Amino acid sequence: MNWETVIGLEVHVQLNTKSKIFSGAATAYGAEPNTQACAIDLGLPGVLPVLNSEAVRQAVKFGLAINAKVANKSVFDRKNYFYPDLPKGYQISQFGHPIVLGGQLQITLEDGTRKTINLTRVHLEEDAGKSLHEDFKGKSGIDLNRAGTPLLEIVSEPEMHSAAEAVAYLKTLHALVTYLDICDGNMQEGSFRCDANVSVRPVGQKEFGTRAEIKNVNSFKFVEKAINYEVARQIALLEDKQAVIQETRLYDSQKNETRPMRSKEEAMDYRYFPDPDLLPLEINDEYIQQVRDTLPELPNAKRERFCKEYGLSEYDATILISSKAMADFYETVVKNCGTANAKTAANIIIGDMNAALNKHNLEIQQAPISAAQISKLILRIADNTISGKIAKTVFETMWENQEDPDTIIEKQGLKQVTDSSAIEQVIKQVLEANPKQLAEYRAGKEQLYGYFVGQVMKASQGKANPDQVNKLLKDLLQQ
């Protein structure tokens, strides 16, 4: 039987407000345990939550960026359950009336096809603390630094049909929240976390299959692997005439498998009800317009502009806008070296730079080479100091030694030879050293031309200007 995969994603985005969603405590990551938790975060008797207006502004910003409906009135509810790292015994969230409804995200797949994914809702809530089960001699430690950190929960419709689509959605969403500067996007630190609802059904069937929810998968790679594992598991079950159980599963990246966490029978009754400590959140259209006026250029608009302004292909532009940091880096380079070199800049960033970043598992912000240095390198190509090929060598040295391109060119003697007589000299030597090939060429075997070019470039250690080599070689071969 042919199976269709159905995926819906719930993403928790940690907002980058300075203080928590309902208290004045700081939100910075990595502090000593329990040093960033005030009486409110600890849920001490008598304390009350006060909503952080910046978290609201960020949620509205996101809602506008996905063309969603920002609710004029939304309600904070209490989600009641007991857990040691949940200080109040309930999480303040939004259940019945979320701040943002609907919206769309346009994703681009590897092969360039575009698809629109609809969103169900987006709501504000507070994060819980962390339970630490190691290093406490059989007991558990509780760190409440994270308790009360603002989260935006973004829920998609079940409209994705492969792990690749899910990853494309997540990457687009990740780019968007960092573009909007509402999240630092750091997945290792848990600033962008994903739960995937996965089910399969026979192709053509309308009803959804029974779904499993895979919790907290913290990298694009693992999301892909977890979904692929889960889809295979469910298909195998169904083909074996067994049922898929509705349950929550945990992805184990070391074993590359998903395991049951809790089943529906154990599912908790959260006893949601409106939080009486917080009034309904009212947002007027004037405020929404104010936030709209602050929206930065969004990825799709940027892609279009890159194609138009810099003459880039859509493919190149898509890669460059995949993160705001990358797009900003690119634009800084182009600003320094001129729009005439925009295509060369794109090639170097997409090619050399990306390869090096991937190899070292770094983000562009962490690259050892600055945009200014890349611009210099491009200018050296443009003014014929070096060839594009030599530029690759220079780039590698720049990455390794963090040296200036001019210094590298000077030190390693990589300067392109543009002196015609010097190039002519080299060509003559090559022709003299290869009498047999020369005779054959002149007898009509013209495909040997490339061989001579290669030999000349090799003899000049790649430094001869390729255009001049072409011109002079043709002349000398005619003689």
Partner 1 sequence: MYTKSIRELGLGLKNKEFSSVELTKHFLERIKKFNTLNALITTTEEQALKAASQADQKIAAGIQEDLTGIPILHKDIFCTNGVKTTCGSLMLDNFIAPYDATVVTKLKDAGAVCLGKTNMDEFAMGSSNENSYYGPVKNPWDTAYVPGGSSGGSAAAIAARLAPAATATDTGGSIRQPAAFCGITGIKPTYGLVSRFGMIAFASSLDQGGPMAANAADCAIMLQAMAGFDERDSTCVNRPKVDYVAELDKPIKGLRIGLPQEFFNDKLNPAIADLVHNAVKELEKLGATVKSISLPNGHLCIPAYYIIAPAECSSNLARYDGIRFGYRCKDPVDLEDMYKRTRSEGFGAEVKRRILIGTYVLSSGYYDAYYVKAQKIRTLIANDFIKALNEVDVIIGPTTPEVAFKIGAKNTDPIAMYLNDIYTSSVNLAGLPGLSLPIGFVNNLPVGMQIIGNYFAEAKILNVAHQLQQVTDWHTKVPAEFA
What does 269-319 look like in DSSP terms, one character per residue?
A: ----EE-TTSPPEE--HHHHHHHHTT----HHHHHHHHHHHH---HHHHHH
> Does the footprint of partner 1 cover residue 44 (CB under 8 A)?
yes
Q: Which stretch binds partner 1 (CB under 8 A): 58-66, 211-219, 243-251, 274-282?
A: 274-282
Number of residues in contact with partner 1 under rule CB under 8 A: 28
* Residues 93-152, interacting with partner 1 (CB under 8 A): 142
Q: How far is the CB of 399 from partner 1 (least distance, A)?
A: 50
* Residue choice 26, 42, 453, 476 for contact with partner 1 (CB under 8 A): 42
Identify the residue whose tokens are 């030190």. 411
Say what angle helices 371-382 and 388-401 make with each other, to 10 degrees: 160
- Which residue lies nearer to partner 1 by CB, 267 or 382? 267
> Does the footprint of partner 1 cover residue 329 (CB under 8 A)?
no
> Does the footprint of partner 1 cover residue 43 (CB under 8 A)?
yes
> Does the footprint of partner 1 cover residue 193 (CB under 8 A)?
no
- Which residue lies nearer to partner 1 by CB, 39 or 295? 39
* Residue choice 1, 48, 203, 443 for contact with partner 1 (CB under 8 A): 48
* Residue choice 18, 259, 264, 271 for contact with partner 1 (CB under 8 A): 271
**Which H or E run includes 15?**
none
Q: How far is the CB of 291 from partner 1 (least distance, A)?
A: 21
Q: Which stretch binds partner 1 (CB under 8 A): 80-88, 254-262, 292-300, 367-375?
A: 80-88
In this structure, are residues 154 and 63 in contact, taking their beta carbons and an 8 Å threshold? no
Tokens of 159: 């409209």
Give the count of beta carbons closer than 10 Å to the beta carbon of residue 273: 14
Q: How far is the CB of 46 from partner 1 (least distance, A)?
A: 4
> Does the footprint of partner 1 cover residue 261 (CB under 8 A)?
no
Degrees to nearest 5, angle at CA 242 with 237 and 248: 65
- Which residue lies nearer to partner 1 by CB, 80 or 246? 80
* Residue choice 3, 29, 95, 273 for contact with partner 1 (CB under 8 A): 273
Which residues in 407-460 belong to E strands, given as ranges? none
> Does the footprint of partner 1 cover residue 422 (CB under 8 A)?
no
In this structure, are residues 203 and 4 in contact, taking their beta carbons and an 8 Å threshold? yes
> Does the footprint of partner 1 cover residue 84 (CB under 8 A)?
yes
- Which residue lies nearer to partner 1 by CB, 96 or 368? 96
> Does the footprint of partner 1 cover residue 8 (CB under 8 A)?
no
In this structure, are residues 74 and 280 in contact, taking their beta carbons and an 8 Å threshold? yes
- For β-strands 104-108 and 141-143, DSSP reports them as unpaired
* Residues 330-349, interacting with partner 1 (CB under 8 A): none
How far apart, in whole angstroms, are the C-alpha atoms of residue 414 and residue 311?
A: 30
Name which of 343, 355, 363 is nearest 396 in CA terms: 355
| Interface with partner 1 (CB under 8 A) | 39, 42-51, 78, 80, 82, 84, 87-90, 142, 269, 271-273, 276-279
